[in-house]
């Protein structure tokens, strides 16, 4: 299985017209929170009011500040939780992916649109 990367717009939740494009975002179906470069978060003025403990892929834990942003991808927009990265590649989480109505096609390494489910 390979890596799927996308370009996405990140926007402030309180000023949805204030956005920045983030390129080379890794689609991480194991992540529950998306990650954007700290420089983008700072430029947009995104706040990170909550602290949360995360389990990392190597088994260590790390406490990170969490905020919210609008993510836009291929004409679809959804709000999602984010953290700011000072190093490493930006990530699109599985929760954001599902909120946007996409799945990953592992054969083509692309995203496929799907209908968002609402089970009442």
Beta bridge partners of 66: 50
According to the 3-state scheme, what is the secondary structure of 27-88? EECCCCCEEEEHHHHHHHCCCCCEEEEEECCCCCEEEEEEEEEEEEECCEEEEEEEEEECCC
Residue 115 confidence class, pLDDT cut points 50, 70, 90: confident
Other C-beta atoms lying within 10 Å of the C-beta of residue 12: 19
SS3 114: coil
pLDDT digits (tens, 9 = 90+) for 51-77: 999 998 899 999 999 999 999 999 999
- The yes or no reply on domain 5-113 and CATH 2.40.70.10 is yes
In this prediction the pTM is 0.90
What does the domain layout of the chain look like in residue ranges? 5-113
């Amino acid at each position: 299985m390979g890596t799927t990367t996308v370009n996405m717009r990140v926007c402030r939740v309180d000023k949805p017209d204030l956005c920045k494009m983030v390129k080379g975002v890794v689609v991480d179906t194991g992540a529950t929170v998306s990650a954007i470069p700290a420089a983008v978060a700072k430029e947009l003025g995104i706040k990170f009011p909550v602290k949360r403990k995360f389990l990392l892929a190597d088994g260590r834990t790390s406490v990170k500040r969490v905020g919210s942003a609008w993510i836009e991808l291929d004409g679809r927009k959804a709000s999602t939780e984010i953290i700011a990265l000072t190093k490493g590649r930006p990530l699109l989480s599985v929760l954001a992916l599902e909120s946007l109505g996409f799945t990953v096609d592992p054969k083509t390494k692309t995203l496929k649109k799907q209908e968002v489910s609402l089970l009442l």
